[in-house]
Amino acid sequence: MAPFEGDTPRFHKGQWRGAFPATGFMPIEECEFAHTHHGSPEQVIVDRVLSVSFMASLNTHEKQTVASQIWDVIENTPELAGRQTVGFPYRTLAVSTRTLK
């Protein structure tokens, strides 16, 4: 996905952290939650990648090319090849802060 993301804000780049600390707010508090999405490789990998906003905005030919590349990776990765069901791990970061009184 990296070749297509351009300057799209992405969580993994950490730019969002630049807004903190902020005047009048307590330090942020963080809590992580783990989850695994189970399903077919098409649902869990292909559809997920193509649903990201900058990927979804690609033209039909580009989407087909990317989908083909993803399938090549799936078919050539021993842990994924031939599997009917796969698990894709997610990590959700919940962030909160309170105003100073």
Determine, yes or no, domain membership for 3.
no
Model-level pTM?
A: 0.75
pLDDT tens figures, 2-54: 788 877 777 778 888 888 888 888 888 999 999 999 999 999 999 999 999 99
pLDDT (0 to 100) of residue 88: 93
Determine, yes or no, domain membership for 31.
yes
Domain that holds residue 50: 24-96
φ and ψ of 33, to 5 deg: -130, 135
Domain tally, the chain: 1
Torsion angle of alpha carbons 65, 9, 52, 94, nearest 10°? 150
- Quickly tell me which residue has 């069901």 as its tokens: 85
Which stretches of 13-59 are DSSP H helices?
41, 48-51, 53-56
Query: Could you tell me the pLDDT band of residue 97, with boundaries at 50, 70 and 90?
Result: confident
